[in-house]
Structure 1
Amino acid sequence: MEICPWCNEGTLSDTLDTVYWELPDGTKAIEITDTPTKLCGSCKAKFQSDETVKEIEDQLFLINTGKLGKSTSFEELMKIERLLKRNYFDFS
């Protein structure tokens, strides 16, 4: 059982939500639907886990973002073919 990092009271549940993400080159933002999201049962805060954020950022860095429309689902985004196998600039 995960406790909410915002209110330190509520428990978190997994849900899907729409998020808006700026592309790495800063040219535009896209809508990503059905994104894995954490929801606090107490304060109702919604946020993405660090793992989900990294997945999105890595994928946007490694694909041809010029082919993206204004909106895509998380699942479809993750299916787009990568130009590189992994993010070679991530030293974490």
Structure 2
Amino acid sequence: MKMECEWCNSSNVNAVTDSVFWELPDGSRAIEIRETPTHSCGDCNMIYQSESLVKEIEDQLFLIDCKQIGKVITYEELMKIPRLLKRNYFDFSS
């Protein structure tokens, strides 16, 4: 499947991994999530995460005990943390 840049519609987009910085749901602090799947556009130089990935990260942070997370975590480590609930029952978007 050919990717298209969400910002400039270019097809010159590569899948890479990068660090992102995320505020925890309770607003207490921000963390660095390393090795996060990311899109990088060679034409407009935008580096971004897909909307589905953003939702996946936000849901995971909402459903786990964030006290387990240090200042830095990899995306894979974050997604392996067991959830306290099976799904986000407060998300009415779907």
SS at match of 1:84: coil
TM-align CA RMSD: 1.1
For structure 2, which runs of at least 5 residues remain unmatched after alignment? Answer: none
**Structure 1 counterpart of 2:34:** 33
CA distance in 2, matches of 1:46, 1:32: 15
8 Å contact kept, 1:10–1:43: no
SS at match of 1:44: coil
Question: 1:65 deviation in Å?
Answer: 0.4
TM-score, L = length of structure 1: 0.93
**Structure 2 counterpart of 1:74:** 75
**Structure 1 counterpart of 2:61:** 60
TM-score, L = length of structure 2: 0.91
The percent identity for this pair of structures is 59
Question: 1:3 deviation in Å?
Answer: 2.5
For structure 1, which runs of at least 5 residues remain unmatched after alignment? Answer: none
Aligned length: 92
